[in-house]
Amino acid sequence: MFAVSPDNRAQYYKYLASLNFICADEADKKIGLLPGYEIAAPPPVMTLCAHAIELSLKAFLLENGMIEKETRKIGHDLVAAWGKAKELSEDLPEIDENVLAIISDLLVSDRLRYGERSNLGTVPVYGPLSDLVKQMLELCGAPNLAETVN
């Protein structure tokens, strides 16, 4: 384990975000084929995707002037993190904010952990969720670790 400091925290978050998504993508190739997951991403996949989104957004926030203490106050609220990103930059991509709201609700509430429905009454399928993760990884400039590993 290496030491993460304020100087390299954003880079570390990008690295972890990429790793989370690689794991989510590989997991979906296996467990996403099980019955029922054609209409909803598997919970472990959603968890990894949510973490990749959170880390990507926090890396973006850190690199755009937000201090670490403030990013930690956002917690796991992906919608709040996206809102802060919009405050800091006008040059953001168009994203599916409905998918962001759903995965944020599932993450913040621990419903992913306990297999409960979102307050929004739905769960994302993998395609739109993975598209959102890819946009967030690109937004923060995360490394493409899949190419590095292969």
pLDDT tens for each residue of 96-150:
999 999 999 999 988 887 777 777 777 888 899 999 999 999 999 999 876 666 5
1 located within any domain: no
**In this structure, what CATH number is given to the domain that contains residue 119?**
1.20.120.330
Structural domain boundaries, residue 48: 9-142
Mean pLDDT of the chain: 90
Taking alpha carbons only, the member of 4, 30, 41, 8 closest to residue 123 is 41
Please give the tally of structural domains in the chain.
1
Tens digit of each residue's pLDDT (9 = 90 or more) over 13-38: 999 999 999 999 999 999 888 887 87
In this predicted structure, the answer to whether residue 3 has a pLDDT above a threshold of 90 is no
Report how far residue 115's alpha carbon sits from residue 43's, in angstroms, rounded to the nearest whole number. 8
Which own/partner pairs from 70-77 qualify as long-range (CB within 8 Å, at least 24 positions apart)? 75/108, 76/50, 76/104, 76/107, 76/108, 77/104, 77/108
In this predicted structure, the answer to whether residue 1 has a pLDDT above a threshold of 60 is no
Is the pTM higher than 0.85? The answer reads: yes
Report how far residue 144's alpha carbon sits from residue 19's, in angstroms, rounded to the nearest whole number. 9
What H or E segment, with its residue span, contains residue 68?
Answer: helix 68-74
150 located within any domain: no
